[in-house]
Amino acid sequence: MRLIDSLRSFVSTLFHRAEIDREIEEELRSHIQHRADDLERGGLPRAEAERRACIEFGGYQRLKEESRDALGGQFGEGLLQDIRFALRRMAKKPGFAIVAILTLTFAIGANAVVFGVLNAFILRPLNVPQSESLYGLWRLPGDMSESYPDYLDLRDRNHSFESVAAYNVMQAALDTGSDPSRAWIEETSGNYFDALKLEPYLGRFFHGSDEHGPNSAPYIVLTYDYWRSHFQGDPSVVGRVVRLNKFPYTIVGVGPPEFHGTLIFFNPDFFVPIVNHAQFDETDLNNRGNRWVFMTLGHLKAGVTPAQAIADLNSVGASLEKAYPKDDPKMRFKLARPGLYGDYIGRPVRTFMTALMLLAGLILLAACANLGSLFAARASDRSREIALRLALGSSRKRILRGLFAEAILISLVGGAVGLAGSVALLRALSVWQPISRWPLRMSVNPDVKVYAVALFLALASGLLFGAVPVGQVLRTDPYEAVKGGAVETKRGRFGLRMSFRDLLLVVQIAICAVLVTSSIVAVRGLANSLHNNFGFELKNTMLVETDLNMAGYLGDKVPPMQKRMIDALAAIPGVETVGLGDQVPLGDTQPDSNVFTDSTTDLRPANAATNSIMFKISPEYFQAAGTALVSGREFSWQDNKDKPRVAVVNRQFARKIFGTEAKAMGAYFKLPEGARVQVVGIAEDGKYGSLTEDPQPAMFLPILQSPSNSAYLVVRSSRNPEQLALAIRSTLRNLDAGLPVYIQTRFQTLDAALFGPRMATISLGVLGVMGAMLSVVGIFGMASFSVSKRLREFGIRIALGAQRRELLQAALGRTFRLLAFGSAVGMLLGLAAGKVIAFIVSQATPWDPIVLGGVLVTMLLLGLLAGWIPARRALATDPLLLLREE
Amino acid sequence: MTTQAQLLPGTLDLLILRAVSLGPLHGYGVLLRIEQISGGALLIEQGALYPGLFRLLRQGLLKADWGTSENNRRAKFYELTAVGLKRLQEETDSWNRLATAIASALAPQPEEI
């Protein structure tokens, strides 16, 4: 009660100080006037009456102050005094204040950044109305994709969803009259925007009623961002006709500003109706077996639980299973959140972010341990002052309040600076496009939750480390100061406190060693994985991405154009070989196909021998890509439609289907459409989907026998990449000026595959460096405190002829023993953490002499760095000076 | 002047409560009322009244409001709250007990006579 009262009066005092002063003044004056009135009535002239009244009243200023204090000014005044005193003390020892504030700045900043990312990816719901009831349909076991006919059946036959929408990710060439540019689009079902309950910013959306069969709805809805960046926010864009893959489309509207599609990691440029799919890709809209639609999603009806919805979907699935046993075996569902593609991206992101949050929390804890022991050291430096103040009648409460004021002041300043830094970093992250050819934007802009968390952490850590010296102050005995001796608390307690501080230091060093170990493991793993054998050559390779579809090449016009592109690029001086593939390893998508043994006759999916990644490639692709053939032959231009089907498979494929590589050569397997394919060559294994994957079966088919209009040209040349890119661009422009071309070195194309490991490594590295800095401060603080405590002892030792080595041992031995112990604990924990890191960064193993040695050397260097100045101070002790001082 | 008694520490608050319990008063009025009810026997430094008034105000024993005095001047009027009334009764009781005890202790004892 009293606390609340005094807080309230403190706050009102702060804000109404002037007003209160004015009121007190008025009241006192009124008193004097009343008194003067009486005196005047008694016969005195007015002026004399007022003078007398004033004198009778007493010391006006003093009484005014006392009145104000009585009204509750005391607490506020006291706090202001505390703050002023704390500021003065900090100004007197700016080094301490700066170190403390910097420590907290980094610790709280790191926490705010990690929390900001965690908040944006996991805690913050998608930017659509009522996102809590929005679910995606997850087809067990694998993923969220469906074929278009299945989607229609699910949409029309379920009773649980308000409406089910579908979308697919696609690229298209947008021609607004000048240069055609490549854009990332989402093909969506007509009901997409209505199902998501969105309202257009401009114009209108397309609706289910706009769909009248294939290619019936040539409409574009732009995202707000794309409208701003590519149409300069021009409102007259609605109604404009543009060309998309050479087909005329009308821009009908612009989406709401906060809407970036329903995938957090993918921000499309615009939306087109999925019924126009034939104008973007050759997959057949009506093929029930081909699950190319990326995701289906919708809002659950009010009152329907997820379990009910799953049962409902499963019953629809069961009836589809019965009707289409060949295409729809085992249709079982669960519900998944659409934003991070269910658990597919969601789980690793959640796991990693949680782990990172934990590490960041540890950093803050280490920082608090650090500052706590610094504060305790300072308080014991000030023990004489504190004892004197106690002896002079100050209350312990008042002294503690002063200490806490200092701690909280430091933590608030540190928190504010840290927050400012992290906001800047988060803003930069939000506009950063980490993968140049993929519209990935991490909208991690901080919101009010981030600010609140930072403030809370600042206050909490201030209270935490401010609380460390409390016991010390409470135990201080004022009589000691009066007696005049060195003020020290009693021996036994002294020992206890030291060991608590030792514990703080050990904990802090252990945390630091964990972080250092993790970051070295991650960095080393990343470096290793870059020197790995991917099953293709990274050096001297350019990847040229074109899309013939976008340029209007369809059907029979595709193969000749592909041949012309290969020949034209091969003719560029300095180019050794050119190959073409419908996709490349570690590229955007990895189309796969079921594979059957030759003896299988019933080609339903359940009978498949395996599922294999499928590349459709030109002759010379292997040479251009740098993929080695283990045995057999490459394709030639003679492997065309008129010849028997052939394939090159990788070793994993050979082992999985045929048992051994030897048996595979010349043997046959079957594809789902029934074709018998003969194995004519075996290629080395490679990485296809991700760097961390286990060996996957893969097959390579001649592009003339299984045509594809998607085309990546692999160009092998030792020429300078920039010049080469220019030459390639002009060569292709000569062939067809309307062909969208995208050129990167093979290294750059790995950005997407390396994004996760890189982010993991960077964040661990940053935390590692911060942990290292913290322990330097901690060790330094501890060592210099123990040295300054024992300076007199050292002086005597020197006077008695102690050697430098003995002196050093006495000064720093304990600190270094703690360092060794903490490092050992931390390294053991770090070895365990290394296993977690291996999930994200391939080849990350802590059982590596370089890693272990690196950690040891790092910790030793940190210790030396931190112990240097205290050691110098101990050695430089001048016994005469010290003795004279006494 | 010598006929006036110095206030014991802590008794000013009790006197203020007592004065105000007879009806709302402004600060000067409180002073006059104390003089009146004590028969002019108590010496109070005029200004010292105010820290006491504010202390009681802050403890919630009094409430105050601006008004106009009989001299037609603006003044702050004090009034007893329910808590204040209760406190006045308690303090009065305990003062009486104390005064009786002291008085009987100081009174001439039979053995002294």
Shared-domain flag, residues A595 and A693: yes
Chain B residues close to A66, C-beta within 8 Å: 50-51
pLDDT at A740: 78
Strand partners, A542: A715, A745
A831 and A842 together in one domain: yes
Q: Are A309 and A390 found together in one domain? A: no
* pLDDT value of residue B5: 66
CATH of the domain at B20: 1.10.10.10
Report pLDDT for A683. 92
For an interface test with A, the pick among B54, B63, B83 (most A C-beta atoms closer than 10 Å) comes out as B54
pLDDT score of A497 more than 60: no
For residue A827, what is the enclosing H or E element? helix A804-837
Distance CA A578, CA A543 (A): 10
> Diameter of chain B by CA atoms?
61
Indicate whether B78 belongs to any domain: yes
- A221 has pLDDT over 90: yes
Cβ–Cβ < 8 Å for A304, A160: yes
Minimal CA–CA distance to A663: which of A631, A694, A633? A631
Is A427 among the domain residues?
A: yes
CB contact under 8 A, A57 and B46: yes
Q: What is the ipTM of this complex?
A: 0.88
Let me know whether A365 and A481 are in one domain: yes
Selected residue with higher pLDDT from A406 and A886? A406
Residues paired with A299 in a beta bridge: A134
Residue B5 — φ and ψ, nearest 5°? Answer: -95, 145
Structure tokens of A487? Answer: 């003020």
Inter-chain contact A70–B47, Cβ cutoff 8 Å? no
CA distance A9 to chain B (A): 9
- pLDDT for A400 equals 82
User: Does the structure show a pLDDT above 80 at A395?
Assistant: no
Q: Which residues of A touch B (CB under 8 A)?
A: 5, 9, 23-24, 26-28, 30-31, 33-35, 37, 56-60, 63, 66-72
Out of B28, B45, B52, the one facing A31 most closely (by C-beta) is B28
User: What's the DSSP call for residue A122?
Assistant: I
Nearest to A58 among B28, B46, B69 (CB): B46
pLDDT at position A506: 84
A451 and A391 part of one domain: yes
Give A570-575 contacts, CB < 8 A, sequence gap 24+: A571/A731, A572/A717, A572/A724, A572/A727, A572/A728, A572/A731, A574/A717, A574/A718, A574/A719, A574/A724, A575/A715, A575/A716, A575/A717, A575/A719, A575/A724
Q: Is the Cα dihedral A535, A538, A539, A540 positive or negative?
A: positive
3-state secondary structure of A136: strand
Rounded CA-CA distance A117/A430 in Å is 10
Please judge whether B50 and A71 are an interchain contact, meaning their C-beta atoms are less than 8 angstroms apart: no
Comparing CB atoms, the residue among B48, B54, B55 nearest residue A58 is: B48
pLDDT of residue A9: 60
Shortest distance between the Cα of A377 and any Cα of chain B, in A, equals 40
Say which of B47, B55, B74 has its CB closest to residue A60. Answer: B47
Averaged pLDDT score across all residues of chain A? 82
Classify residue B16: in a domain, yes or no: yes
**Amino acid making up residue A477:** D
pLDDT digits (tens, 9 = 90+) for A564-588: 999 999 898 889 999 999 888 887 7
Whether residue B46 is contained in a domain is answered as yes
Tell me, what's the pLDDT at A382?
76
Cβ contact A63–B50 (<8 Å): yes
pLDDT tier at B59, thresholds 50, 70, 90: confident
The first and second tokens of residue A404, run together, are 């806490």
Q: What's CA A619's distance to the chain center, in Å?
A: 42
DSSP E strands: which ranges in B1-113? 5-6, 25-26, 42-43, 62-68, 74-80
**Tens-place pLDDT, residues A270-283:** 999 998 888 887 77
Residue B98 lies in a domain: yes
Is A768 part of a structural domain of the chain?
yes
Question: What pLDDT does B112 receive?
Answer: 64
Q: Is residue B113 part of a domain?
A: no
Residues A644 and A768 in one domain: no
Q: Which helix (H) or strand (E) holds A157?
A: helix A148-157
CA of B89 vs chain A CAs: smallest distance (Å): 23
Decide which of A338, A366, A393 is a domain's last residue.
Answer: A338
The burial class, CB within 10 Å (0-12 / 13-18 / 19+), for A759 is middle
* Chain B contact set for A24 (CB, 8 A): 50, 54
Both A190 and A287 in a single domain?
yes
B47 lies within 8 A of chain A by CB: yes
- pLDDT band for A815, please (50, 70, 90 cuts): confident
Contact B58 A70 (CB under 8 A): yes
Dihedral class, residue A341 (left if φ above 0, else alpha if ψ from -120 to 50, else beta): left
Domain match, A162 and A65 both: no
Q: Is residue B66 part of a domain?
A: yes
Residues 6 or more apart whose CB falls under 8 angstroms from that of B110 comprise: none
Does pLDDT of A492 surpass 50?
A: no
Q: Which residue of B has its CA nearest to A56?
A: B46
Q: What is the 3-state secondary structure (H, E, C) of A211-262?
A: CCCCCCCCEEEECHHHHHHHCCCCHHHCCCEEEECCEEEEEEEECCCCCCCC
Nearest to B51 among A23, A57, A67 (CB): A67
pLDDT given for residue A695 in this prediction: 85
The count of structural domains within chain A is 5
Same domain, A377 and A291: no
Q: Tell me which chain A residues have a C-beta less than 8 angstroms from the C-beta of B74.
A: 26, 30
> Which of B26, B48, B54 comes nearest A71 by C-beta?
B54
**Contact: B58, A33; criterion CB under 8 Å:** no
Contacting residues of B for A30, CB less than 8 Å apart? 26-28, 69, 73-76
SS3 content of chain A, % helix, strand, coil (to 5): 55, 15, 30
Residue A596 in any domain: the answer is: yes
Domain membership of residue A88 (yes or no) is no
In a domain, A167, yes or no: yes
Provide the number of CB pairs (under 8 Å) joining chain A to chain B: 72
| Chain A residues touching B16 at Cβ < 8 A | none
> In this structure, is residue A84 part of a structural domain?
no
Residue numbers of the domain that contains B74: 5-103
* pLDDT score of A6: 58
Sort strands A241-244 and A270-273 into parallel, antiparallel or unpaired. unpaired
| Distance between B12 CA and the closest CA of chain A, angstroms | 14
φ, ψ for residue B97, nearest 5 deg:
-60, -45
**Measured between beta carbons, which residues in chain A are less than 8 angstroms from residue B29?**
34
Beta carbons within 10 angstroms of residue A751's beta carbon: 16
Looking at the structure, do residues A529 and A547 belong to the same domain, yes or no? no
Residue B57 lies in a domain: yes
Residues of A in contact with B76 (CB under 8 A): 23, 27, 30
* Cα nearest neighbour of B66 on chain A: A27
Range of the domain at A8: 2-75
Among A104, A112, A127, CA closest to A452: A112
Backbone Cα Rg of chain B: 16
Whole-angstrom CA distances from A51 to A44, A65, A280 are 10, 21, 99
Cis peptide before A141 (omega within 30 of 0): yes
pLDDT confidence of A484, banded at 50, 70, 90? low
Determine contact: B75 vs chain A, CB below 8 A.
yes
Rg (CA), chain A: 37
Q: Which residue of B lies nearest to A24 if distances are taken between CA atoms?
A: B50
Looking up tokens 């240097």 gives: A868
- pLDDT surpassing 90 at residue A699: yes
Min CA distance, A64 vs chain B (Å)?
8
Q: Report yes or no on whether pTM surpasses 0.80.
A: no
- Comparing CB atoms, the residue among B48, B55, B71 nearest residue A34 is B71
Which pLDDT does position A417 carry in this prediction? 92
B55/A contact by beta carbon, under 8 A: yes
d(CA A243, CA A251): 10
CA of A30: which chain B residue's CA is closest?
Answer: B75
pLDDT digit string, tens, across residues A186-204: 999 988 998 888 889 988 8
What would the pLDDT profile of A437-463 be if each residue is shown by its tens digit? 667 777 777 888 888 888 998 899 888
Q: What is the pLDDT of residue A3?
A: 54
What pLDDT sits at residue A158? 86
**What percent of the residues of chain B are helix, what percent strand, and what percent coil, each to the nearest 5?**
55, 20, 25
Same-domain pairing of A479 and A501:
no
Say if B25 falls within a structural domain: yes
* Higher-pLDDT residue of A740, A1: A740
CB contact under 8 A, B46 and A71: no
**First-to-last C-alpha distance (Å) of chain A:** 50
CB-CB: which of A34, A58, A63 is closest to B73?
A34
Q: Which of B47, B58, B71 has its CB closest to that of A58?
A: B47
Confidence at residue A489, expressed as pLDDT on a 0 to 100 scale: 45
A362 pLDDT tier (thresholds 50, 70, 90): confident
Nearest chain A CA: its distance from B78 CA (Å)? 12
**For position A493, what pLDDT does the model report?**
41
Question: Angle CA(A545)–CA(A550)–CA(A553) in degrees, nearest 5?
Answer: 100
| Number of domains into which chain B is organized | 1
Domain assignment of residue A85, yes or no? no
